[in-house]
Structure 1
Amino acid sequence: MKKTHLYLLALLLSVVGVAAIGYKWKVLKFPLAPVAEVDVWTVQARVEYNPRRGPNTVTLQIPKRPPGFAVLDERFIANNYSRLEEERGSSREVQWAIRRARGTQALYYRATVVRASENPALGGRPKVGQPAILEEPYFTASASLLEDVRQGSADILTFAQELVRRMNAEQPAEQVALLLENRQDPEAKAELIAQLLSSREIPARIIHGFLLGESEGAMEIRPWLQVHNGTDWLTIDLRTAVDGWPENLFLWTTSSSPLLTVEDNPRAKVEFTVSRNLADAMAIAERRLEVQHEHLVKYSLLSLPLQTQQVYRVLLLVPIGAFIMLILRNLIGVKTYGTFMPVLVALAFRDTGVVAGVLLFISVVGSGLLVRFYLERLRLLLVPRLTAVLIVVVLLMALVSVISNQLDIEVGLSIALFPMVIMAMTIERMSIAWEERGASQALKEGVGTMLVAALAATAMTYDPLVHVVFVFPEVLLLILALTLMLGRYSGYRLTELFRFRALAREFGATEKRADDKSNAEPQDK
């Protein structure tokens, strides 16, 4: 296979891995840190009214997929009321009904919201609303005002902004003062601005919301103006005339209907309160994913039972340990017993700790090696010998655990988690290497095995790495790409450079003498 094919495959794996990680981090808001917190707001609407005799119906506009936020949970609190939710285009409402009610009634809508980036933008077909029906002298005042606004604007956006600025002037013009005689509250002023824009064939609508931030307690819901420029809906702050969608704006409703409607009860009121809390970013990300991408949850590790998730938190780290072993063996030249034996030993080090694990490894393997040399004199066959070594390993582990318990050393109790078969095979292979290649080579491979296992265990117990690999298993695609690239490396290892340094010095000296000789020959001639 050509190297080009290998490079393209590694590049493809890297691109897919990076894209998946970036999507989960930036779009789905999965945290990169194991301990992270995010802002969570609890938004509440409290409806209060005095019921009339007979049936009562209460209609409240409620949020529907607000841009920039995700509604994680909703609660409707209304005793003895029936509830009906209905969607109308980009808006939504809840209707409570009761046959008979006595005394002051209080109904609640409560929502838990967090920031989100994958919400649809506000749409809706642009439609010119009904212009205001004004009598004289209000009609003449509006016509004069709109003509002055037209002279000071260049397009639909600047026309609407200029109109808002004139309506909010500290010392308004005579036309503005006349039009605002009976429209001093923000709602009435917003409706007037929208009607004036409609009289110039400009699609305009009023939306309602409030800014979520550090402030808590009672909140005042505010109107915002939106105008359509032929392509998009543009948002304008009715207080400052600044255009653009505010980052913290939580959209409550886009409906042109009243925010609260209670039949034959004009004194009914609705109050809004907001409380801000900090919550675990990972738990919120999971809940947000369940709300916005239900199918992604079903086919992810997050859908598994908690016990299975804990298993995969360990299994997904095995390739990390194997990659560390690959670097140490193929690039540095550390010798070990077997290919994956150090990784399995590293799994045991996760529970005992690296330092205690190394000490336990040395004590068990050292004692087992002495027993193995003794069994060699008995001239046993391979399988009986391995079985005997396994039995001795188990007894040694039990002995260390008992002694540790008596000395109140809890780490020693974790020795039972060591893979017994791996320990037995390590003793067997070390004894064979001792006999065939000498004690020095056997000890080198033993030390190399402990070194690789210790480094792998350190990486596999590093909390940020454990979190990233479990939450973003696509990291393993990047590890796979690097493994494929290293698979073609056949150059010198780091230990070989030290091993052959004398030969390199001799080769360099020979080349230098040859160069000196070649430079001296022309002078002799």
Structure 2
Amino acid sequence: MRRFHLPILIVLLSAIGLGVFAYKVSALGMPLQPDATAETWLVEARVRYQPTGGAASVELRIPHRLPNFSILDEGFVSRGYGLNTLAQAEDRLAHWTTRQPRGEQVLYYRATLYRDGNDRSESDYPGPVAVPDWTEPYRSAADALIDDVRSRSSNIQSFASVLVNDLANAAPSSNAAVFIESDDDRASRTETLIELLATARIPARQVTALRLIDGRRDIEPQTWLEVHNTRRWVPIDPETGEIEYPSDVVVWAHGDAPLLEITNGENAEVRFAVSRGVQDALATIQRFGDTLDTRILDFSTLNLPLGTQNTYRVLLMVPLGAMIIVFLRNVIGIQTFGTFMPVLIALSFRETLLLAGIILFTLIVSLGLVVRFYLEHLRLLLVPRLAAVVSVVIMLMLGISILSHQLGFERALALSLFPMVILAMTIERMSVVWEEHGPADAITQGIGSLVVAAAAYGLMANRQLEHLLFVFPELLLVLLAVTLLLGRYTGYRLTELFRFGRIQDAMRRTD
């Protein structure tokens, strides 16, 4: 069982990390690209009326649970009015009150909507509805029409769709023509359909919706039909019979109650305007997460203070750099001074940029080596020698920064970000290797450290990877699993294969 411990741990870490990542992407819609944008819609309802004297009361039905859309933000503009919002079955009611309004009154309700793709249409089955009390000849025509539609449909929603098409294309002598009036509009056609569906004991209701057209300032509300198929409310266009709402239609209210009701007012009207907007996807998802019944975003890096976020944008890249070093050392076989020195140098390269960073690093280490060889003649103990090297490194960094500033080479001012202790340890380690194994090994390991640091910088400076690890820190579990997997690698390194290959070639030539 002990030999399966590590594989099980690797699979478990990968499953948790990828599972949380998939949930954030699919359920919450968190963006995979750092510059991703999200489409939002600002919908404004403008109420206008003329007071007739006395205290006025204005009631406007406003959305609550929208199929396919979420309300990211909303606001009310109503100076001099008291405001309450009352929850109803599927909608809400904005209730404005004022004591002595004078002159024409204008009130506003604004909502910012985001399309999230969640239909929110599931609900308990209300049960079969009562059959309307038709009079003749409507009763006979309704029964015959219902029987004919039932024979040409397979379920509730197809029944409703066939019924809509029969009314839309009714022949003058057909049973459907009995229910058609010459001045029918969408609202009256929907009312007729609801009564006919009730004859078949199918629950149906009227819905008020808006078509999202960018820049329109006078959008007429549309009436839609919804039928319950025992699991959810299914929307159907009352004119064409098409099922489901188009992507540019948003539900505003349910039922046949008027959108606007005013007490002590006349000439009342409500008009709708729509404007499309584009916002940062990450900020939009944060606001969208506040509307969901989930706590996962409460523990997100996005909720940290801004300064702390900027710090972790850098720190979260360190495990990626460490994994790259493990791969390059254990699989490729590149020799370096230490394990974490290339990662820290790669972090410094993020500020100095690669070419300038390599030049500055090489200059500091070369000058430091000269000082280190001089200190060797003084026969100092290890700790005082390291302290002296650190002091010299800092003085060298200061001198190079002052000189580069005078020469106008401002990029070298970022030299202060190099970890001076790591530089001192690198100089000490390189001098020891130089003395024990010769300058060739020391220079080889120094070049290997720069190569690994440059490779780690190439990944750690990638904005796409930085975005993924910051927004989806659970991917660190996947990096940990890969690192653990590489930790069990005991095969030949790539550089060893080349070296052994040359030995084999030499042996063949000898034979």
Question: Is 2:359 the counterpart of 1:371?
Answer: no
Give the deviation of 1:291 after TM superposition. 2.8
Give the deviation of 1:145 after TM superposition. 4.2
Q: Which residue of 2 aligns with 1:21?
A: 21
Q: Which residue of 2 aligns with 1:241?
A: 241
Secondary structure at the residue paired with 2:322? helix
Write the letter of the residue equivalent to 1:437.
H
Question: Is 2:212 the counterpart of 1:208?
Answer: no
Mapping of residues 47-126 of structure 1, within 5 Å: 47-118=47-118, 120-126=120-126
Compared CA separation, residues 247 and 509, structure 1 to 2 (3 A):
farther
Q: Which residue of 1 aligns with 2:224?
A: 224
Count of matched residue positions in the alignment of Structure 1 and Structure 2: 511
Q: Which residue of 1 aligns with 2:355?
A: 355
Q: Are 1:60 and 1:261, in contact at CA under 8 Å, matched by a contact in 2?
A: yes
Q: Any idea what the Cα deviations from partners look like across 1:360-386, whole Å, max 9, x if unmatched?
A: 001011001001111111111222211
Of the structure 1 ranges 430-439 and 244-253, higher mean CA displacement relative to structure 2 is found in: 244-253
User: How well do the aligned residues superpose, as a CA RMSD in angstroms?
Assistant: 2.4
Secondary structure at the residue paired with 1:500? helix
Question: Is 2:36 the counterpart of 1:36?
Answer: yes
Give the deviation of 1:154 after TM superposition. 4.5
Mapping of residues 15-414 of structure 1, within 5 Å: 15-118=15-118, 120-128=120-128, 135=135, 138-139=138-139, 141-143=141-143, 145-169=145-169, 173=173, 176=176, 178-181=178-181, 184-212=184-212, 216-263=216-263, 267-293=267-293, 295-414=295-414
Of the structure 1 ranges 260-269 and 131-140, higher mean CA displacement relative to structure 2 is found in: 131-140
Give the deviation of 1:68 after TM superposition. 1.6
Mapping of residues 378-457 of structure 1, within 5 Å: 378-457=378-457
Q: Any idea what the Cα deviations from partners look like across 1:158-196, whole Å, max 9, x if unmatched?
A: 332232123223765565555343862221221121122
Mapping of residues 477-516 of structure 1, within 5 Å: 477-505=477-505
Secondary structure at the residue paired with 2:492? coil
Compared CA separation, residues 151 and 458, structure 1 to 2 (3 A):
closer
Give the deviation of 1:256 after TM superposition. 3.8
Counterpart CA distance in 1 for 2:10 and 2:91 is: 48
Counterpart CA distance in 1 for 2:29 and 2:105 is: 40
Q: Any idea what the Cα deviations from partners look like across 1:307-361, whole Å, max 9, x if unmatched?
A: 0011111110000110110011000111111111111111111111111111000
Q: Are 1:129 and 1:195, in contact at CA under 8 Å, matched by a contact in 2?
A: no
Counterpart CA distance in 2 for 1:391 and 1:220 is: 76
Counterpart CA distance in 1 for 2:119 and 2:225 is: 20
Q: Are 1:49 and 1:105, in contact at CA under 8 Å, matched by a contact in 2?
A: yes
Counterpart CA distance in 1 for 2:6 and 2:508 is: 36
Q: Any idea what the Cα deviations from partners look like across 1:4-53, whole Å, max 9, x if unmatched?
A: 33222211211211111111112111111111111110011112222222
Give the deviation of 1:413 after TM superposition. 0.6
Give the deviation of 1:146 after TM superposition. 4.0
Write the letter of the residue equivalent to 1:235.
P
Q: Any idea what the Cα deviations from partners look like across 1:424-446, whole Å, max 9, x if unmatched?
A: 11111111111111111111111
Secondary structure at the residue paired with 1:35? coil
TM-score by length of 2: 0.93
Counterpart CA distance in 2 for 1:368 and 1:39 is: 56
Counterpart CA distance in 2 for 1:8 and 1:509 is: 48
Q: Are 1:57 and 1:96, in contact at CA under 8 Å, matched by a contact in 2?
A: yes
Instruction: Name stretches of at least 5 consecutive residues in structure 2 with no aligned partner.
Output: none
Compared CA separation, residues 508 and 204, structure 1 to 2 (3 A):
farther
Counterpart CA distance in 2 for 1:153 and 1:382 is: 91
Write the letter of the residue equivalent to 1:187.
A
Of the structure 1 ranges 30-39 and 98-107, higher mean CA displacement relative to structure 2 is found in: 98-107
Write the letter of the residue equivalent to 1:478.
V
Counterpart CA distance in 2 for 1:369 and 1:436 is: 15
Q: Any idea what the Cα deviations from partners look like across 1:69-89, whole Å, max 9, x if unmatched?
A: 111101111221211211122
Counterpart CA distance in 1 for 2:460 and 2:154 is: 63
Of the structure 1 ranges 285-294 and 439-448, higher mean CA displacement relative to structure 2 is found in: 285-294
TM-score by length of 1: 0.91
Q: Are 1:156 and 1:229, in contact at CA under 8 Å, matched by a contact in 2?
A: yes
Compared CA separation, residues 359 and 180, structure 1 to 2 (3 A):
same
Q: Are 2:333 and 2:493, in contact at CA under 8 Å, matched by a contact in 1?
A: yes
Secondary structure at the residue paired with 2:114? strand
Instruction: Name stretches of at least 5 consecutive residues in structure 1 with no aligned partner.
Output: 514-525
Secondary structure at the residue paired with 1:218? coil
Counterpart CA distance in 1 for 2:36 and 2:110 is: 25
Q: Are 1:48 and 1:269, in contact at CA under 8 Å, matched by a contact in 2?
A: yes
Q: Are 1:67 and 1:122, in contact at CA under 8 Å, matched by a contact in 2?
A: no
Of the structure 1 ranges 149-158 and 278-287, higher mean CA displacement relative to structure 2 is found in: 149-158
